[in-house]
Amino acid sequence: MDLVDLMVEKRFFGQEFLTWLWWKSEERGGTISVKNIGDIAISFEKHMLLESGEGESSEKLICSGLQTELREARTGLFVGKKLEQARIVLTLDSYEYSFTLSGSLMEFRNVKLPKTDESEKDAVQSGEEVEGNILERAYLFENLLKIIRALFAHFLEIRIGEAWPEQVLAIRHWVAKNASA
């Protein structure tokens, strides 16, 4: 089996991760506690892409709007579509990240890094200041990757553990309750 076939076969992990993350973001007031990281505030907003089927029989459902208006996305989950892409706002300590995450490839798009004191200055910068800003932005992006890796590792621990069937039932209940609301 080549790499592309393996990626296609295992894409459901990323889709399940996004669905689980959406559920977790609403389960505990938007906060997920992850070891070695702390409490992470997560909210889903404005844009979601759901898919079902493969090849020529595939269907896509794009949902956009305010957080409370994502009823179509919830209904899509209810009828068996898979969450493939979502716009997420993630906050850890005083840092707020905004990005779109694709589930099947765990691909980041439209990443908006936290504002810092230096990034808000409009002044002309010296070479050292520019270099410092670049290094700071690299650190912030690396921190975002670290947070997502920790969330995914947390998800995988649950996914392969004994608690997964219980969480699947809770997610199904959440989907059914919110699809009919």
Q: Read off the pLDDT of residues 120-144 as tens digits, 9 standing for 90 and up.
A: 555 556 777 778 888 999 999 999 9
- Rounded to whole angstroms, how far apart are CA atoms 140 and 116? 10
| Beta strands per DSSP E along the chain | 31-34, 38-52, 59-65, 82-92, 95-102, 107-112
Token pair 């590792």 is at which residue?
A: 153
- Rounded to whole angstroms, how far apart are CA atoms 152 and 18? 9
Q: Read off the pLDDT of residues 6-22 as tens digits, 9 standing for 90 and up.
A: 666 666 788 899 999 98
Question: For the chain, how far is it from start to end, CA to CA, in angstroms?
Answer: 44
Q: At what angle do helices 3-27 and 127-159 cross, to 10 degrees?
A: 90
- 50 band by pLDDT with thresholds 50, 70 and 90: confident
- Rounded to whole angstroms, how far apart are CA atoms 154 and 86? 19
pLDDT > 70? residue 63: yes
Higher pLDDT, 59 or 94: 94
Give the start-to-end residue ranges of the domains of the chain. Answer: 3-179
